[in-house]
Amino acid sequence: MGVSGQSSDMRDVIAAMEAGDHDATLAYEMYVDRIQKHIGQYLAVLNGADAIIFTAGIGENAALVREDVISGISWFGCDVDPEKNVFGVTGDISTDAAKIRVLVIPTDEELVIARDVERLKK
């Protein structure tokens, strides 16, 4: 919200960016850049990875974010198949040639909360 001047909701930021709003574009690019930096740091510390997983609201629903994040770090060996990377997809969205798989895994916060409550009751 502070950078885009539009909203803290990525759907609104993307819509404003697609409408040509400069501040929304800057906010989006900063967001993607920071995700790429975090992934790069983890890949360096872990000496690689088997997969990169997108989850939760933006990770599950924003195909554009997934595409832009991965395209900026493809030299690590990850690549997204545009035909698989669509809204509502779950599972592997990588190309066949990708060395690091790219996955979309839905969250189930309600199940996690229910399990935690049951565990804490004991």
pLDDT digits (tens, 9 = 90+) for 21-71: 999 999 999 999 999 999 999 999 999 999 999 999 899 999 999 999 999
Going by pLDDT thresholds of 50, 70 and 90, the confidence category of residue 122 is confident
Going by pLDDT thresholds of 50, 70 and 90, the confidence category of residue 5 is confident
Average pLDDT for the chain: 94
For residue 111, the model assigns a pLDDT of 85
Identity of residue 122: K
For residue 2, the model assigns a pLDDT of 87
* Assigned token pair, 70: 């991965």
CB 93 within 8 A of CB 103: yes
d(C-alpha 75, C-alpha 73), whole Å: 5
**Would you say residue 109 has pLDDT above 90?**
no
DSSP secondary structure letter of residue 74:
G
What's the pTM? 0.86
